[in-house]
Amino acid sequence: MSIVDAVPTPAAACCSPVSGKPLSRAEAERIAPVLKALGDSVRLRLMSLIAAHEGGEACVCDLNESFDLSQPTISRHLKILYDAGLLEREKRGVWVYYRARNEALGSLAALLAGTGK
Q: Is 69 in the site for a copy of itself (CB under 8 A)?
A: no
CA distance 36 to 98: 20
Task: Tell how far CA 104 is from the center of its chain.
Answer: 7
Q: Which residues contact 69 (CB under 8 A, 6 or more apart)?
A: 42
**Element (H or E) spanning 42, and its range?**
helix 41-52
Q: Please identify which residue in 5, 7, 9, 29 interacts with a copy of itself, judged by CB under 8 A.
A: 29
Segment interacting with a copy of itself (CB under 8 A) among 1-9, 31-39, 72-80, 88-96: 31-39
Instruction: Output the smallest distance, CB 117 to a copy of itself, in A.
Output: 7
Q: Which chain residues interact with a copy of itself by CB under 8 A? A: 18-23, 25, 28-29, 31-45, 47-49, 51-52, 56, 66, 100, 102-103, 105-117
